[in-house]
């Protein structure tokens, strides 16, 4: 299976990534002002939704690995909170510094658009990954997996876990997150079409903050005493919800699935709080975003459909419609395979 191969590669390269991170942690962006027209300016800065999220630590380590391979300069900056406009000041600063490209996971499809377009006018390449902006605000979007596939896998998992009928709720990230909102809309469609006996009673937002997500889980259980399951399409939310359930009387009674990292979910699979959840390989996502940024900076691609570029150990990728590059398929983790993964 494709993911299995990628995950093994990621595991093997974990030590390499650590070394790369150690070597690049102190680098700052190129200050030669060479954004515009400087085809060799391989200073690429990763801007996650917020700092302190292991998902982005892993994706950005993948970016650092790629950038070290092709001899660019890696940096990471980001806000403490995943609010709609918290990334704007970072984008403005990076544009002033003249980086070659920014790889950003957007907290809002619109709020950072003006800043991104000003950066583009200054010659900075804009690659969104994980969570997109409106397409006209960036050059490329590196999509982790097909949005419909991401929606379906989570709905199928919860349906299986609650026996195809009952009440479920969604614990999401921030209310404006482009990626979660797209997946939730598709989950609603899929539920209505395929699972008429499952009722989605509520969607709440933990803001990709651990404590807020924990509190929202408690609130859901209090408000909906007949709740059968929770889908949390965010690694922060699912791990906080699992932690809450694992010490509550709802453990084993209320099913939980969604998108999680194996390392954050391992204990909760071991203790029976969670039976299965999904994700992709975040390190590969960051790695691919970095190679796409390089190809953009070097003028090898513009973001037009049909453009092709080399992505190191992942092979060759082609840009699809709307400037989107697709990494691969989501993957389901459970007690049988979680031991094979370390991220
Ligand atoms: C969180 C973030 C990220 C999302 C993952 C699944 O880490 O919300 O954007 O892709 O979960």
Q: Are residues 57 and 72 in the same domain?
A: yes
Is residue 33 in some structural domain?
Answer: no
- Same domain for 321 and 230: no
The pLDDT confidence band at residue 107, using thresholds 50, 70 and 90, is very high
Residue of 259, 282, 330 best suited for mutating to test ligand 1, as the one with most atoms within 8 Å of CB:
259
116 with 152, same domain?
no
- Say yes or no to pLDDT of 3 above 60: no
Which of residues 255, 279, 303 is at a domain's end?
Answer: 279
In terms of phi and psi (left: phi > 0; alpha: psi -120 to 50; beta: otherwise), the region of 76 is beta
Q: Count the residues in the chain.
A: 343
Pocket test for ligand 1, best of 183, 236, 277, 280 (most atoms within 8 A of CB): 236
Query: Ramachandran region of residue 217, left (φ > 0), alpha (ψ -120 to 50) or beta?
Result: alpha
Instruction: Indicate the number of domains in the chain.
Output: 2
Note the pLDDT of residue 39: 54
Is the CB of 108 inside a 6 Å radius of any atom of ligand 1? no
Average pLDDT over residues 2-17: 36
Rounded Cα distance, 339 and 7, in Å: 12
Average pLDDT over residues 200-215: 98
Mutate to test the pocket of ligand 1, among 52, 105, 177, 234 (most ligand atoms within 8 A of CB): 234
**pLDDT tens-place string over residues 47-94:** 999 999 999 999 999 999 999 999 999 999 999 999 999 999 999 999
Task: Please check whether residue 21 lies inside any domain of the structure.
Answer: no
Tokens, residue 25: 């942690």
Which position has the higher pLDDT, 94 or 26?
A: 94
Task: Find the CATH number of the domain harbouring 190.
Answer: 3.40.50.2300
Kindly tell me if the per-residue pLDDT of 149 is higher than 80.
yes
Instruction: Indicate whether 206 and 309 sit together in one domain.
Output: no
Q: Tell me what pLDDT residue 40 has.
A: 83
Q: Does residue 299 have a pLDDT over 50?
A: yes
Q: Is there a single domain that holds both residue 259 and residue 178? A: yes
* Structural domain boundaries, residue 199: 147-279
Q: Which residues pair with 229 in a beta bridge?
A: 168, 255
Question: Based on the domain organization, do 154 and 121 belong to the same domain?
Answer: no
- Give domain status of residue 34, yes or no: no
238 part of a folded domain: yes
280 lines ligand 1 (CB under 6 A): no
Same domain? For 243 and 293 the reply is: no
Separation of alpha carbons 285 and 131, rounded Å: 11
In a domain, 138, yes or no: yes
Which ligand 1 atom sits nearest the alpha carbon of residue 234? 11
* 266 and 159 part of one domain: yes
**Does the beta carbon of 236 lie inside 6 Å of ligand 1?**
yes
Residue 169 domain-assigned (yes or no):
yes
Residue 311 located in a structural domain:
yes
Which residue, by CA, sits nearest to atom 6 of ligand 1? 234
Say if residue 255 is in the same domain as residue 191.
yes
Residues 185, 154: contact at Cβ < 8 Å? no
The predicted model scores a pTM of: 0.90
Which position has the token pair 């459970």?
Answer: 334
* Whether residues 301 and 260 fall in one domain: no
Averaged confidence pLDDT in the chain: 91
Is 333 inside a domain boundary? no
- Average pLDDT of the residues in 8-34: 35
For ligand 1, atom 2: residue with the closest CA: 234
Closest residue (by CA) to atom 8 of ligand 1? 234
**141 forms bridges with which residues in the sheet?**
128, 324
Asked whether 234 lines ligand 1 (CB < 6 A), one says yes
Residue that is written with structure tokens 């515009």 in the block: 36
């Amino acid at each position: 299976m494709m993911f299995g191969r990628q995950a093994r590669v990621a595991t093997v390269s974990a030590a390499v990534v650590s070394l790369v991170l150690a070597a690049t942690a102190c680098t700052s962006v190129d200050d030669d002002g060479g954004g515009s027209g400087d085809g060799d300016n391989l200073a690429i800065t990763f801007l996650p939704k917020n700092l302190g999220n292991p998902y982005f630590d892993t994706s950005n380590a993948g970016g650092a690995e790629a950038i070290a391979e092709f001899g660019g300069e890696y940096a990471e900056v980001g806000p403490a909170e995943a609010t709609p406009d918290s990334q704007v000041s970072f984008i403005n600063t990076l544009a002033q510094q003249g980086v070659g490209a920014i790889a950003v996971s957007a907290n809002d499809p619109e709020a950072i658009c003006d800043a991104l377009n000003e950066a583009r006018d200054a010659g900075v390449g804009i690659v969104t990954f994980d969570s997109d902006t409106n397409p006209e605000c960036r050059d490329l979007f590196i999509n982790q997996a097909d949005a419909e596939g991401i929606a379906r896998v989570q709905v199928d998992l919860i349906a299986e876990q609650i026996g195809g009928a009952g009440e479920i709720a969604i614990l999401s990230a921030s209310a404006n997150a482009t990626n979660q909102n797209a997946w939730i809309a598709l989950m609603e469609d899929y539920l209505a079409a395929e699972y008429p006996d499952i009722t989605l009673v509520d969607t709440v937002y933990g803001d990709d903050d651990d404590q807020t997500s924990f509190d929202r889980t408690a609130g859901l259980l209090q408000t909906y005493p007949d709740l059968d399951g929770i889908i949390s399409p965010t690694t922060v939310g699912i791990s906080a919800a699992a932690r809450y359930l694992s010490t509550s009387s709802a453990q084993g009674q209320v099913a939980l699935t969604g998108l999680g990292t194996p390392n954050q979910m391992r204990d909760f699979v071991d203790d029976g709080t969670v039976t299965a959840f999904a994700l992709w390989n975040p390190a590969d996502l960051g790695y691919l975003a970095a190679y796409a940024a390089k190809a953009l900076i070097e003028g090898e691609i513009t973001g037009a459909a049909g453009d092709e570029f080399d992505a190191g150990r992942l092979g060759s990728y082609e840009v699809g419609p709307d400037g989107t590059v697709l990494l691969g398929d989501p993957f389901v983790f459970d007690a049988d395979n979680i031991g094979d993964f370390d991220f």
